[in-house]
Chains A and B, each alone.
Chain A
Amino acid sequence: MHLSNGMGSMSTASSSGTWKSGDVVSDQFPAGLRVLVVDDDPTCLMILERMLRTCLYEVTKCNRAESALSLLRENKNGYDIVISDVHMPDMDGFKLLEQVGLEMDLPVIMMSADDGKSVVMKGVTHGACDYLIKPVRIEALKNIWQHVVRKKKNERKDVEQSGSVEEGDRQQKPSEDADYSSSANEGSWKNSKRRKDEEEETDERDDSSTLKKPRVVWSVELHQQFVGAVNQLGIDKAVPKKILELMNVPGLTRENVASHLQKYRLYLRRLSGVSQHQNNLSNPFMSPQEASFGAMSSLNGLDLQTLAVTGQLPAQSLATLQAAGLGRSTGKSGIPMPLVDQRNLFSFENPKQQHMSSSKPMNLLHGVPTTMEAKQLANLHQSAQTLGAANMQVNAHGVQNSSLLMPVPQSQPRGQILNESSGNHVPRHSSSVGQPIISNGMGNGVLGRNGIVDSGRGVGYNPVHQNSSMLNYPLNNSSQLPGNNFTLGSTPVMSSLASKGAFPEDVTSDIKRSSGFMPSYDMFNELQQPKSNEWDLQNVGLTFDVSQHTHSIHGSLDPSVLVHQGFSSSQRGGQSRNPSIVGKTMFSVGEGSHFGNMQNTGHHLNGRIVDNTVRIKAETVPDATSQTSFFHEQYGQDDLMSALLKQQDGLGPAETEFDFDGYSLDNIPV
């Protein structure tokens, strides 16, 4: 139509490489913005085209979603933004939205005459960057270029961050980093960003006229390579440049790797259930862990714990890992989630909401504890080292590992926490697994108090709640624990761990990763040292029945919930934390002779031993079944050991045995 006449010349003029990615924007910008409009309604299509042309954009019309997709695929860099209708006969607009986001990662604006809240919400959840209500006014279209700029900006920032952040990362708490994408990070990375900007601008642009560089689709193989490279280097040392070299994929740029690494990290964080960032990173890591765990039975527990605690890997993964490691099926905990699943989880593409994966981890721990106990203990010692290694692996996978590792027995204060946990199950992680691990009470902050008594629930010991708070809790009381200082503070833990000899590095790394998951590690180490054997056993016992508390071990341990739940859940969730139950989490769960409970929990603990340390205060944990791992923080290792031992006997009267208020993982049914 003649409409194009006038615009035609303009568009051509404006389209010639005016839009530069990044900061450099041509004078004509936003003129020349290449828009693809998809709508089955010809009237709307025509009107939109006209309006967009009036805004000086370059418009391409499409009345079918399929043809739009093929257009986009043929010309990967041919468009800057896509506007799509919601209701279309051949394909749902949201589906198209997802596809475009996955394959081309372009900003997509949805539009519809339907302004119902649910529809708009759907747009948001599917990743639309904006939603327009029909009739669309030209004013609304005038500003769509902001989405393009924003996206580019974030992308660049990601890249920079992942690249330059490496160092920064180490120093900062993961939690802070967690929000890579958030604007909060911007401040910290400003300098590097600026630096990077310059480099990137030149690098990025393959052809100056395109807005974005060619998109790299991270296929499964490519991703596997990536993960392999990252694992090889170690998650902390994984720098885009090195990863790129290791991967040795032609055509892949450092920026591609950097941004992918960024996402990967977020993913891991999520998985580990670090409360800080709960992205549901699935625990793909878990699967690999399993293998490694096998070797490290004890480690598994720990790892799992850590992981569980840290994050996504809630009890389940831990349990699984543990189980895997220990070689025993997480029977108890029934770690439902096979590690493998976790693997799947990890795909950036996948909805990050994979809490589920985290739940899996819980199981791991869960299962582990029980059987592990005996073996674990012994293994733990050794595994400690292996664990360290395992951790690494785990870590590699991402946060998950950390969570797992930190078997911080989340013994939830039975009485108190248990209730909560049982009730709450770590609601947070709806991810089925009740990954208590994370919830292991380590619940950021909550841990401190009650005791992260991990009533054996799958609280993936990860006392390391993402928040360092976790560490605080047990540690406070850790006076008893000689080594354990359950200093939640991840760092401190690490050191203690290191001293222990147990996976020192790993722990640290895990801890780091899990951002806070340290405590468990620490505990574990401590435990290990003194009575590793016993402890292990104990821990094992602590591994609360993951199955039971599955819910609690939600990957996304809610800090508060975690604490309570954490433990119970972790225990349930299959916190199968290995005996490495760093569970020294001594939670002063309550005073009380909950041993009885402990015992119960012990059963559940299935290897949640990690929580052994957690002294379960005499809280009368009503929920006996789940918790078992009341780790009383104060519980010194000795106490724990004895408690554990006692428990092993059959969850003997914990109360009597333990002087401490809490129960040590005596209940851990070995």
Chain B
Amino acid sequence: MERNQLRRQVRLMRQSLFDQGFLDEQFVQLEELQDDANPNFVEEVATLYYRDSSRSLQILEQALQRNPRDFNKLDNYMQQFKGSSSSIGAKKVKADCQQFREYCNAGNAEGWQGKLGQSRHHVDPSNQESHQQPESSLD
């Protein structure tokens, strides 16, 4: 009973993530990669991503603080971040990254700041972790 409920919850949550645009097709691909031989693949990848992305965001923030701002470097960092975000299917984050890069190109630092904050929110673990855990707990 509870199990079913939980499952349903997870399903809904997952769906909402997709609906809200946090996740995209790529995530589905990752899910497909998971199988019996690799049951926790998605979880592992997500964990890795969170760790990695928080580090990236930190670096980005630091780089933004620095004056004068090295937009090239920022661009590179952002490129990296975008890559991993897109690989995991984090759609919004990826979009943010794209925006960042545009700001970068335009030399718009303020825009950066704003976006950075937004990205943090998008990547927010609570969003996705909660999604992951229920699933794994249901195994």
Interface of A toward B, CB cutoff 8 Å: 1-3, 5-7, 40-44, 46-47, 50-51, 54, 85, 87, 112-114, 134-138
Contacts and interface: CB of A to CB of B under 8 A. Distances in A.
Given A47-B45, A136-B87, A112 B79 contact: yes
Contacts of B87: 41, 43-44, 47, 134-136
Interface string B38-50: 1111001100110
B9 to A, nearest CB: 26
B80 A114 contact: no
B68 to A, nearest CB: 21
Nearest to B40: A2
Nearest to B44: A1
Nearest to B39: A2
Interface in B87-109: 87-89, 94, 97
B38 A6 contact: yes
B83 A134 contact: yes
B76 interface: yes
Interface string B53-95: 0000000000000000000000010011011101111000010
A114 B86 CA distance: 11
Interface string B99-129: 0000000000000000000000000000000
A6 B37 contact: yes
A1 B32 CA distance: 17
Sorted nearest first, the 7 A-B pairs with minimum C-beta distance are A6-B37, A113-B83, A43-B84, A135-B86, A3-B38, A135-B26, A135-B87
Given A2-B40, A44-B83, 16 more contacts: A41-B87, A43-B49, A47-B30, A50-B38, A50-B45, A85-B83, A87-B83, A112-B83, A113-B83, A113-B86, A113-B97, A114-B79, A135-B26, A135-B88, A138-B29, A138-B33
Contacts of B26: 135, 137
A165 to B, nearest CB: 45
Given A43-B45, A47-B45, A5 B86 contact: no
Contacts of B80: 40-41, 87
Nearest to A50: B33
A613 to B, nearest CB: 57
Given A134-B83, A134-B87, A135-B26, A43 B52 contact: yes
Question: Chain B CB within 10 Å — which of A44, A112, A138 has the most?
Answer: A44
Given A3-B38, A43-B45, A43-B49, A51 B83 contact: no
Question: Chain B CB within 10 Å — which of A43, A44, A50, A134 has the most?
Answer: A43
Contacts of B76: 87
A54 B86 contact: no
A371 B49 CA distance: 72
Contacts of A50: 33, 38, 41, 45
Contact of B45 (A46, A113, A138): A46
A134 B37 CA distance: 25
A137 B29 contact: yes
Contacts of B41: 3, 50
Nearest to B78: A113
A212 B27 CA distance: 37
Nearest to A9: B37
A359 to B, nearest CB: 35
Contacts of A1: 38, 44
B56 to A, nearest CB: 9
B73 to A, nearest CB: 11
A46 B83 contact: no
B19 to A, nearest CB: 20
Contacts of A43: 45, 48-49, 52, 84, 87-88
B82 A113 contact: yes
Contacts of A138: 29, 32-33
Contacts of B44: 1, 46
A7 B52 contact: no
A159 B107 CA distance: 53
Contacts of B35: 6
Contact of A46 (B37, B39, B48, B82): B48
Contacts of B49: 43
A666 to B, nearest CB: 59
B129 to A, nearest CB: 15
Nearest to A119: B79
A51 B33 contact: yes
B38 A113 contact: no
Contacts of B39: 2
Contacts of B79: 87, 112-114
A249 to B, nearest CB: 44
B125 to A, nearest CB: 14
B52 A47 contact: no
Given A46-B48, A50-B38, A87-B76, A134 B86 contact: yes
A113 B37 CA distance: 29
Contacts of B52: 41-43
B109 to A, nearest CB: 21
B84 A3 contact: no
Nearest to A8: B37
B126 to A, nearest CB: 19
Contacts of B97: 113
Contacts of B82: 113, 134
Given A1-B38, A3-B38, A114-B79, A41 B84 contact: yes
B30 A2 contact: no
B47 to A, nearest CB: 10
A41 B37 contact: no
A47 B83 contact: no
A50 B52 CA distance: 18
